[in-house]
Copies of this chain bind each other. A is one copy, B any other.
Amino acid sequence: MDNSLLLNSIAKHVTLDEHEEQMLLSILHYKKAKRKQFVLEEGDISSKIIFVTSGCLRSYAVDKNGTEHVLQFAPAGWWITDMRSYITAEPARLNIDAIDDSEYIFINKSDFEELNLKVPKFERFNRIIGQNAIATYQHRQIDNAIFAAMERYANFCQLYPSLIKTLPQKQVASYIGVTPEFLSKMLNTQIVK
């Protein structure tokens, strides 16, 4: 199994010794998800934290009309979970599924919490990536509050240039918060290149 992405991402923030790395590796689980396959379903308890190693997952919520609203895309190197459900063991509001055939590592809650207690460097790593995630959520929220659809699209293109090439347009529409029809119209009417 390929742990290099995960280990590299950790190494950017802390330096684990042989023993600490071993403890981490011992609790990793590996799984694959085919395109469209669920990794977490709304209503389930999310008792794991997921790190994508290949392909692309996404999280989304469904409104009362059945329309999907994408919260996050997670290509290789990204973490994804329903955090409230993870913390409180309440049913998840998010679905997580695979956009492409994907592989991911997951860590069970009990293992994750134990490792944080035993390996302060891991706790440190998680504190830091937690702060980064908060920064990302804050910015996303600001963007949604102050920008119109076209600007949010431009933003997305700039922020995720690799995703824009591979994602179906309707997924991007869902992420920026418009219908696929409106995004199509927007892109083919306004001359924005």
Which residues in A have some Cβ–Cβ distance to B below 8 Å? Answer: 61-64, 69, 71, 82-84, 86-88, 93-94, 116-117, 120, 123-124, 126-127, 130-135, 137-142, 144-147, 177
Contacts and interface: CB of A to CB of B under 8 A. Distances in A.
A126 B129 CA distance: 11
Nearest to A144: B144
A117 B84 CA distance: 27
Contacts of A139: 84, 93
B135 A137 contact: no
A127 B134 CA distance: 12
A103 to B, nearest CB: 24
A30 B139 CA distance: 28
17 contacts: A61-B145, A61-B146, A63-B146, A69-B146, A71-B141, A83-B131, A83-B134, A83-B135, A87-B131, A93-B142, A120-B124, A126-B127, A127-B130, A130-B130, A130-B131, A134-B137, A141-B144
